[in-house]
Chain A
Amino acid sequence: MKFAILVNEGPYTHEAADSAYQFTAAALGAGHEIVRVFFYHDGVNNGTRLSVPPQDDRNISQRWSELGAEHDLELIVCVAAAQRRGLLDADEAKRAGKDSDNIAEGFQISGLGQLIDAGIQADRLLVFGD
């Protein structure tokens, strides 16, 4: 089965970010394909590499990066939502004249069309939000 995952909320504030991760990990563990994980609204904040959670807590963005690397996942952050919230890759930072980027390993910034495309390609789209 081919799944697409939409993550609408950021890390730590809403359990949605955890639920999306746990579902994705379980689906991969059961041998399913994840077409794409798309991060929208505050969900884009899952893609920052600058979060420094306490040692005894999970590192949500790093956890996505690791799962992404292990399974060659497409972790796509919506460009419009990301720009509003200050989540930038090197190209975006340069274009916007910002002094730094902050996107985590394995995440890519792309357009909303990637969400629609994921809905078209996947057998199932699961939405996690508030």
Chain B
Amino acid sequence: MASKRFLYMNRKAPHGSVYALESLEVVLIGAAFEQDVSLAFVDDGVYQLLLNQDTAALGSKNFSPTFKALGDYDISKIYVEAESLEARGLTRDDLMPLTWEDEDDDWAEKDSIHIVSSEALAEIIEQQDVLLNF
């Protein structure tokens, strides 16, 4: 069966609720299905990618380092909406560097994070087959 295009739409901040963590668990499991996977981070979802998250004092699981493993699962299309970053006073430098190695380009390390406009993201949404929201 031809692969489908799956987009995981993340609009919720981490730690305040379980959605970000359990969404990431779906992404990791889903990676084994060899579908075309993209992740979008919109609104408070962009906070999931912030550097320096430390949940030690909460006693909860800090899953943010797991995002760095996404490249190993061949997930290289991580779209962050520019308008959402700007509305929160954030720039690319506030986000974790996420990379993947391009097999077709002598394993060159490339950025997985693509900061895109609303218009561009709207087009990406339109191109999907399955839209997953948590």
Contacts and interface: CB of A to CB of B under 8 A. Distances in A.
Direct contact of A and B (CB under 8 A): yes
Given A80-B25, A119-B6, A127 B133 contact: yes
A117 B33 contact: yes
B19 interface: yes
Chain B interface size band reads: 10 to 19
Interface in B62-109: none
A41 B129 CA distance: 23
Grouping DSSP codes into helix (H, G, I), strand (E, B) and loop, the B interface class, with mixed when no group exceeds half, is: mixed
Contact of A125 (B18, B30, B33, B131): B131
Chain A interface size band reads: 10 to 19
A28 to B, nearest CB: 21
Given A111-B29, A119-B132, A127-B133, A40 B35 contact: no
B24 to A, nearest CB: 11
A119 B33 CA distance: 11
Contacts of A81: 22
Given A119-B4, A120-B130, 4 more contacts: A8-B19, A113-B32, A125-B130, A129-B133
23 contacts: A6-B132, A8-B19, A8-B134, A40-B26, A40-B134, A41-B19, A41-B22, A41-B134, A112-B29, A113-B29, A113-B32, A113-B33, A115-B26, A116-B6, A116-B29, A117-B33, A119-B6, A119-B130, A120-B1, A120-B130, A125-B131, A125-B132, A129-B134
